[in-house]
Chains A and B, each alone.
Chain A
């Protein structure tokens, strides 16, 4: 079945860039998403990318997609303490359809 993998933890200093990586197995993935979850809260959609794109930039966020290697990354520039949260990547082959989530990467930003 489909699988999405992420590293579990990432620690950075405030002001540095953070790069969170994700790999997936479903070759029919059409949409790939990044969500942010703060403690005790639901999921906030950060950004998404279509599978026919290589890169998408939105302010401090840059998403890179290597479709050949099925590798997705999220770069957060000038990371702030408020960016500390769990970040999930997710994929679907059908927009509006069920999402397959990675395990989540806990980002810790130290002052």
Chain B
């Protein structure tokens, strides 16, 4: 149990386009999901806390208009990178909370050309 999926696993897009990444809890409901960003050989940086039915809480320095988060149901949160640029290229990982623990998705590799 407690499986989290992400889609797509890998995406390449042109500069200026928007990309949506989905995070799903497959066998449990999650009121809270988190979005992290990981640079190569670096730690995970928390971007925002996604709460079902309410606005996401963004960490300091993360542009909320750039990284749109929607947690429309108890099993799905989406992260949309708007007007993507090469510096947005990164590995994006989500997690979903169940039973007091965070379960992580497999990550999405975004490359912006």
Contacts and interface: CB of A to CB of B under 8 A. Distances in A.
Interface string A88-100: 1000000110111
Interface residues of A, number: 18
B11 to A, nearest CB: 14
A45 interface: yes
B43 A41 contact: no
B42 A96 contact: no
Given A41-B106, A42-B107, A43-B93, A104 B43 contact: yes
B52 to A, nearest CB: 14
Contacts of A101: 43-44
B46 A42 contact: no
Contacts, number: 47
Contacts of A80: none
Interface in B42-96: 42-44, 46, 49, 93, 95
B95 to A, nearest CB: 8
Contacts of A106: 41
Given A35-B104, A42-B93, A101-B43, 16 more contacts: A40-B109, A41-B106, A41-B107, A42-B106, A45-B103, A45-B104, A88-B44, A95-B100, A96-B100, A96-B102, A98-B46, A99-B44, A100-B46, A101-B44, A103-B42, A106-B41
